[in-house]
A and B are shown apart, each in its own frame.
Chain A
């Protein structure tokens, strides 16, 4: 499921630690860091992880859409989650990681600071997030989970990426799904 490219954390080793616990109906999540925060997404949506390449900018698109890259002949849009979540200025170096997601039949990549773990969580371990009011739209946040004393923010990545505010998908087209 997860393919590795050069210069990226070896996920198989991480998986040994992370997947050690968790029961029958637990699901696996890939966690990544953005600034000081740690986020988790459903690992079944992840296609591969690769380094950051030069992108081709797309005119008149929101700033968090970095542009498109060529991934083995497929044109893939790249979104910088740090810009999307307003987590400060993002730096791009050889350690910058792009998680390639496969959502609703579309392939897209998200830029994150680093991939940390694959963890298995039971449904009960995820607690609902408190309301933040107007400051933060929690629609895309499934809940908060604690893992190894760290707080992981569980994101419904499919809902987020297909939402109108991302402008990734023509809304008329979405009717088909």
Chain B
């Protein structure tokens, strides 16, 4: 039996893609003129972690590419060479290739491309260049072929605590796969001593052990081929434990790389260090024990920074909506560096408890399981509402214990619901972090100068929404660069700075998330849009408002670009953007000022699972109206109702004529039609402007759990979903945009 590594692949894939994303962010953040040593170190660590993982799992192509990457990075961080723009470009290309390799491995294949070799060669050439004065560079080839080293492993078999299903034989086989294994002594009573000759470093050996047993019980020491005697193997437990704690591959959180910080930096000091069983917090201070070691200052700096990050990180995890954004902070460090530090925070918080279970402070769970949990909690909330309704008929004096129990249940289930919902919440930086690269590449290919500012990346929203935000945002940003921002010459003529600016801002505003894309470009051209609309035969009212004109760009097939580029201009974008956002129950608004730029606002609900709604009654049926669509509700007077020949009925509200949508007619509900002035008019905001929806009665405001009708039935026009009310009945959630469409069809 051997250890089946493939069961850990997924963890590696996830970790590696996070490292790659972090590396890319850091690279883009790096100022070539004045390289920040910390950033270089962080980039190096990311590459190193990928290499370590790839080597362990036998993805030698990735390992060799990262190795080349690492050798050049190593020279940079040791300040033996200065970073150049050329190098950064090369690093980014290498990162892209690694992503492709990773994707290929995910599919179970191999990625083969001549570019890999080319990039490797260039990296090596750069790392060799100018190294005549420095120490000889490491031969940049497959790490397997690096000169073999000898490692001594010592352990007591009975204290290993092998994982069930593995035995020493399996361990030996696994070790034999990475190098030559000699058994020096294997007494039944005394400690086992093995000698491993391999090209891999100590980390790889420890990893192999870590899969099957408690590594704290094992000692791994470097040995010379000549001095490889088992007798002098002093147990070096402390150094070992330190290293294992820092080892990030299986910590499983977005900040995995960050956890390994201490270890990577400290590596090299620890094996010789006097053993100290320090706790995590002290561990940072514990660097002081090795005072005088070369590079000491740097290590201290890392530990300090981590602590600062940690303190700052706590604030971000306050899940209450509407937390004021830490904007200054985010503006200062607008890239992945911030995300990394956020991810550290919970880890550090759990630091004290971390030692025994070694980095188990977070787990990866499939989204399905979380969704199931959310559904179950939704059921619980509904059940509570049903109970409360039945209990409301009881005498509160006699049954006071039932009532106090119910109110406890309500509080608990609400807390539970909030806690479960927060599992799905992720900072929007997961989407935002790709944009520095998008902007850099797009601007470069168009010969424009654009800087990107990210604000409020820590705004949390539902994971499902985050994933679906990526495409629309990508489109909007590329559009802004292509159409919005002018060329440097034109900007100069207009008296603006030559570098255009795009701002991506996310924030919580009253129960919804607002994402804004702002550019300081030319703005939309009203006349051009109107001319184009006329050409395409799009009906426009006379003297349309700016808002109505801007909405034109969401029309299918509408593009005002003079020429079609591979970036935008085909006119198949903005309508898709709007549709995507509306599918998420969101809205898009545009503001534009000629010569000053365009401002696009996307408003999204916090989550896809719960909706704030107003329940309305029509006959015997209860419907839910999304609160976001409602503007006001009025009790109409008879004289407000007017009819227009052939175009149906309108209602005069505040001097404006709104189309009247009678729910009863649209849904062909039976029952006595009520007198017009007896109903209530709910003024709703739709894509086609405002409309008045007539209902019999407003019932109450609820938070409802959205259920899909399509799971067991099909899409129903005018209805976006269903929910279960407190009495256990189903209520349909209305889609006001579709209602207005239906109404027009009926008329």
Contacts and interface: CB of A to CB of B under 8 A. Distances in A.
Do A and B interact with each other, yes or no? yes
Interface of A: 54-61, 67-70, 72-77, 106-108, 167-170, 173
Contacts of A55: 730
A58 B712 contact: no
Scoring B378, B666, B712, B730 by chain A CB atoms within 10 A of each residue's CB, the highest score goes to B712
Given A59-B718, A68-B722, A73 B668 contact: no
B732 A73 contact: no
Scoring A54, A57, A168, A170 by chain B CB atoms within 10 A of each residue's CB, the highest score goes to A57
Interface string B724-743: 10001111100000000000
Given A77-B713, A108-B713, 7 more contacts: A56-B621, A56-B722, A67-B730, A70-B728, A73-B382, A75-B711, A107-B712
A59 B621 CA distance: 11
Nearest to B731: A56
A73 B378 contact: yes
A74 B712 contact: yes
Nearest to A167: B714
B709 interface: yes
Interface string B333-367: 00000000000000000000000000000000000
Given A57-B621, A60-B668, A170 B732 contact: no
Nearest to B732: A56
B158 to A, nearest CB: 51
Interface in B697-731: 707-719, 722, 724, 728-731
Interface in B612-666: 621, 666
B669 A57 contact: yes
Contacts of A59: 666-669, 716-719, 732
Contact of B712 (A57, A60, A108, A167): A108
19 contacts: A57-B669, A59-B718, A60-B718, A68-B730, A70-B728, A72-B379, A73-B375, A73-B378, A73-B707, A73-B724, A75-B708, A75-B724, A75-B730, A76-B712, A77-B713, A106-B711, A106-B712, A168-B714, A169-B713
Contacts of A54: 729
Nearest to B622: A56
A72 B715 CA distance: 21
Contacts of A72: 379
Contacts of B710: 170, 173
A58 B724 contact: no
A61 B730 contact: no
A133 B378 CA distance: 50
A56 B668 contact: no
Given A56-B731, A70-B730, A75 B722 contact: yes
Chain B interface bracket (under 10, 10 to 19, 20 to 34, 35 or more): 20 to 34
Contacts of A69: 730
B575 to A, nearest CB: 20
Scoring B378, B382, B713 by chain A CB atoms within 10 A of each residue's CB, the highest score goes to B713
B144 to A, nearest CB: 45
A61 B707 CA distance: 19
A173 B669 CA distance: 28
B712 A75 contact: yes
B714 A170 contact: yes
Contacts of B718: 59-60
9 nearest A-B residue pairs (beta carbon): A59-B667, A56-B730, A77-B713, A170-B714, A73-B379, A70-B724, A106-B712, A107-B712, A68-B730
B730 A60 contact: no
Nearest to A109: B712
A166 B707 CA distance: 22
Contacts of B711: 74-75, 106
Contact of A75 (B666, B709, B717): B709
Contacts of B731: 56
Contacts of A77: 712-713
Nearest to A170: B714
Contacts of A68: 709, 713, 722, 730
A106 B714 CA distance: 11
Nearest to B380: A73
A74 B709 CA distance: 9
A155 to B, nearest CB: 20
Contacts of B668: 59-60
Contacts of B707: 73-75
B132 to A, nearest CB: 64
B253 to A, nearest CB: 32
A75 B707 CA distance: 7
A68 B717 CA distance: 15
A76 B708 CA distance: 10
Contacts of A57: 621, 669
Contacts of A61: 716
Interface in B269-283: none
Contacts of B375: 73
A57 B709 CA distance: 13
A60 B667 contact: yes
A107 B375 CA distance: 17
B61 to A, nearest CB: 36
Nearest to A54: B729
Contact of B729 (A60, A70, A76, A107): A70
Nearest to B619: A57
A66 to B, nearest CB: 12
Contacts of A173: 710, 714
Interface in B656-707: 666-669, 707
Nearest to B670: A57
B534 to A, nearest CB: 35
Contacts of A107: 712
A92 to B, nearest CB: 15
Contacts of A58: 713, 716, 719, 732
A57 B731 CA distance: 9
Given A56-B731, A69-B730, A168 B382 contact: no
Interface string B180-221: 000000000000000000000000000000000000000000
A108 B719 CA distance: 19
Contacts of A67: 730
Contacts of B709: 68, 75
Contacts of A108: 712-713
Contacts of B728: 70
Contact of A170 (B382, B669, B708, B715): B715
B736 to A, nearest CB: 14
A77 B668 CA distance: 19
